[in-house]
Amino acid sequence: MNSSSRDEILARVRAAKGATRTPDQHPPTPRDYRHSDTRPHDELVALFCERVGDYRAEVQRVAADQLPDTIAAVAARHHARRLAIPWQLPDDWQPHGLELIPDDTLTARALDGCDGVITGCSSAVAETGTIALTAAPHEGRRVLSLVPDLHICIVHSQQIVGSVPEAITQLAVITQGERRPITLISGPSATSDIELQRVEGVHGPRKLVVLVIEEPG
């Protein structure tokens, strides 16, 4: 492997293209697919919850002031006592009575010793029941939402958009110029490799709990 491989591959590509059309003459890509889902926002929030549920993730709508108690209840239900949190999880989200371990470069092995993790998200897609994380301060590093067995993800209902194109546009804006890693999560990890029977939970978190904060008014 050296620069001659590079030169040769590029030369092969150029030779293969030969007499074919140059990009200037190439017909423009038709983009008449839907760029947004025009349903009213409260319908999209309901759709998001339904679709997340289809993946056998738990989903719950909560009032903002109920969030810490709800998180505590979810953790108790899953027998989770030690929860990792990103370094800037909003104070008014944090539950009481649980051991919260802020991520200041925790090792993966240390995270493996945690019962779960609480994160926020950057965007959510109603049509596909997807949450998107971009390693923002309230989401943390990629490893955080990967290693612990329980992932509690907090979604503000205004973060929910209808379709995938809307989310991609939003993510491009959010990560603009920052090269942040993006993880799209749709339900708990799963395999259908054994006789096509779906099993939730292989290597990623086996339990995904999505809490949607209802905006007042």
Which DSSP symbol is given to 27?
P
In angstroms, rounded to a whole number, what is the distance separating the alpha carbons of residues 67 and 105?
Answer: 26
Which residues, numbered 77-116, are part of the site for other proteins (CB under 8 A)? 105, 108-109, 112
Task: Tell me 189's DSSP state.
Answer: -
Tokens for 170, please give them: 């939003």
Q: Token pair for residue 108?
A: 């993966």
Query: DSSP 3-state assignment of 42?
Result: helix
Instruction: Tell the smallest beta-carbon distance from residue 83 to other proteins (Å).
Output: 19
Q: Which of 42, 197, 216, 217 contacts other proteins by CB under 8 A?
A: 197
Q: Tell whether residue 15 is a contact of other proteins (CB under 8 A).
A: yes
The HSE-up count of residue 3 (CA atoms within 13 Å, CB side) is: 0
Q: Which is nearer to other proteins, 55 or 93 (CB)?
A: 55
- The Cα–Cα gap between 189 and 171 comes to 22
**Locus of tokens 């590509």:** 13
Distance of closest approach, residue 186 Cβ to other proteins, in angstroms: 4
Least distance (Å) between residue 188 CB and other proteins: 7
Q: Is 38 in the site for other proteins (CB under 8 A)?
A: no
Q: Is 204 in the site for other proteins (CB under 8 A)?
A: yes
Told to check if 169 binds other proteins by CB under 8 A, we report yes
Strand, coil or helix: 48: helix
Q: Does 43 bind other proteins (CB under 8 A)?
A: no
Q: How many CA atoms lie within 13 A of 46 on its CB side?
A: 5
Query: CB of 154: closest distance to other proteins in angstroms?
Result: 19
Amino acid identity of 164?
Answer: V
Binding test (CB under 8 A) with other proteins, winner from 13, 79, 91, 96: 13
Tell me the site size for other proteins, rule CB under 8 A.
74
| 193 CB-near residues (< 8 Å, 6+ apart) | none
Stretch that binds other proteins, among 31-39, 65-73, 76-84, 93-101 (CB under 8 A): 31-39
Among 128, 138, 150, 207, binds other proteins (CB under 8 A): 128
Using rule CB under 8 A, residue 75 touches other proteins = no
